[in-house]
A and B are shown apart, each in its own frame.
Chain A
């Protein structure tokens, strides 16, 4: 699903160059659920941004589902993002003046889908995350966990190849975190490929594979026994 070869990225900081990613080789098969761990400054955010086509690598190749991702202009990047990726953010990033339903329908709007179909699809995904009754509520009328569920529904709405989650539980208490992880695990069980950046060990343990990043390199890549969030909830 994802093939990355010798990925390098550096930023100019004043006169100096800051080498953030120093040759990353990484591949993800369809249906995997991978946690990317690392301390701050390890380059994990930059890595996720490149995976999310929000930023571009200096050298190295990135192939997503058979499509080489290179030399993107704004328009193609936007189109690929819409087509291939679903984003889940730490701070939810819902549009505050739009109802939950409209938020979920947003990626479909940018796909050029008709309103009727859009609403039906969005409603379907809201049901899936258990928030059908909250469709007409604005984000500020929802709890943190509910907001993240709406964000997950939104990420799923365009039926992307890969879900990219950036600290999805970073703003939530542990019970809510586990509830959200439970939902993400269910989605993974259905076969969706998921990449999840986190610095919380218990959250990482709920994935199937953990990649450790340190100083711009992958230092450890291990498969783990997935801890089911449902069980963790009941402890």
Chain B
């Protein structure tokens, strides 16, 4: 296999048929090239979607209410279902073991906020300290809402990074007094959100304060929880969907809402959505592999075809070799090695071109759903293995054919 003579022969035959070798190599190289690009893009899609999910905790369950649209138990449609503090207390006490973070929320849209002569409208959310983890907020400065703020209904506010840029410019906002709907709050922290500017245009205040200053009594807008994650993703998904179903059922029963009335009570499990999307990514990946492998098969058939022609052209030579005492396996080895060499060389060129293109263009790709398309080492190694197998496969039939050449027929004088 490693004899110099053998390599010498392979180079000689390849060199003698440069155009043929080039065309064969091209088909294999383009096959691998396309496979690598497809795999890179599918990795990119995966990363893109993953980063979309990073905006909020992936294991979040959200509860919203609205107006009923269906008659149920003799009650007319058009009732507004109002969440109250007691709902949160009930859910918390019923499912405490399964919940990780929890917060009831009272929010107002378009709250007028001003600082000195700067002003704007922002979403104001009254929440619990856990909101920081449910919304995936990172503190840039200062702190988030604390339990003591809730207990003492302090007038503190945590503002988004984008808000800070809008209202404070280069000033330090910590300790500054801002005006929310005519009431003064002290800024205690600045957060940033992986969801970007839109998500950073919110202002968090303690729930108790919000309910008091906006005269909301014990009314809530929504509830948000995260489920305790287990190591097994499928198990976590199952728990999450079971929990959201149960909460949904409890609320519908309490407020007499029709089971199929989606606008009155909505309980969303992000994890379920995540699972669906990840399933979709897996499918896309599968399809890409399928297409890529298909292209490679086309290449292999090309190589195989060429090797058959090579065997036919060299029938006489192979006959001579056999007459001189070449063993069948040495003939098989010769043809196989040539096929593997051509596929491997061409394949590596395709691999390098593909990886090179991804490295070059990848960082420039700026789309919400594709992020840094690239192939990792494991994928590259897999394609290499695919290549070697492909070469062996491509050479196998021609090599068999060569081994069965009978010297008398090959040597018969024309």
> A residues within 8 A CB of B323?
52, 54, 81, 87, 93
* Chain B residue at minimum C-beta to C-beta distance from A96: B317
Any chain B CB within 8 A of the CB of A30?
A: no
Interface pair B325/A55, CB less than 8 Å apart = no
Considering the complex, which residues of chain B in the window 274-319 have a beta carbon less than 8 Å from any beta carbon of chain A?
316-317, 319
> Are B413 and A91 interface neighbours, CB within 8 A?
yes
A93-B320, A95-B317, A115-B5 known; A78 and B408 CB under 8 Å? no
B324 on interface, CB distance cutoff 8 Å: yes
Per the CB 8 Å criterion, the residue count for chain B at the interface is: 25
- How many angstroms between the C-alpha atoms of A55 and B407 in the bound complex? 9
Tell me the smallest distance from the CB of A75 to a CB of chain B, in Å: 6
Q: How many chain-A residues does the 8 Å CB contact rule pick out?
A: 28
| B75 contacts A by Cβ under 8 Å | no
- Count how many pairs of residues, one from A and one from B, have CB atoms less than 8 Å apart in the complex: 64
Q: Is B171 an interface residue (CB 8 A)?
A: no
Interface centre among A79, A106, A154 (most CB of B within 10 A): A106
Complex alpha-carbon distance, A110 and B403, angstroms: 15
**Complex contact A111–B413 (CB within 8 A):** no
B172 CB–A CB distance under 8 Å: no
**A47 cross-chain contacts in B, Cβ below 8 A:** none
Contacts of A95 in B (CB 8 A): 317, 320-321
Contact with B along A78-110 (1 / 0, CB 8 A): 110111000101110111110000000011011
C-alpha gap A111/B13 in the complex (Å)? 23
Q: Which residues of A contact B411 (CB under 8 A)?
A: 54, 89, 93
Are B327's CB and A75's CB within 8 A? Answer: yes
Closest Cβ of chain B: how far from A43's Cβ, in Å?
Answer: 14
Q: Which residues of B contact A74 (CB under 8 A)?
A: 327-328, 403
Residue among B13, B319, B326 with the highest chain A CB neighbour number at 10 A = B326
Asked if B4 is at the interface of the complex by the 8 Å CB criterion, the answer is: yes
Q: Is A49 an interface residue (CB 8 A)?
A: yes
Q: Determine how close the nearest CB of chain A comes to the CB of B164; give it in whole angstroms.
A: 77
Given the interface pairs A54-B408, A110-B326, the reply to whether A90 lies near B413 with Cβ below 8 Å is yes
In the complex, what residues of B have CB within 8 A of residue A49's CB?
Answer: 408
Chain A residues closer than 8 Å to B403, beta-carbon distance: 74
B400 within 8 Å of A by Cβ?
Answer: no
Interface centre among A96, A97, A154 (most CB of B within 10 A): A97
Please give me the 6 A-B residue pairs with the lowest Cβ-Cβ distance, nearest first.
A82-B325, A110-B325, A54-B408, A107-B324, A93-B320, A74-B328
**16 interchain pairs, CB-CB under 8 A:** A52-B323, A54-B406, A54-B408, A75-B327, A78-B322, A78-B326, A78-B327, A78-B328, A79-B325, A89-B413, A94-B320, A95-B320, A96-B317, A107-B325, A110-B326, A110-B330
Q: Give 5 new A-B contacts, CB below 8 A, not counting A78-B322, A81-B322, A110-B327.
A: A54-B407, A55-B408, A78-B325, A79-B325, A96-B317
Instruction: Give the interface of A toward B (CB within 8 A).
Output: 49, 52, 54-55, 74-75, 78-79, 81-83, 87, 89-91, 93-97, 106-107, 109-111, 115, 154, 158
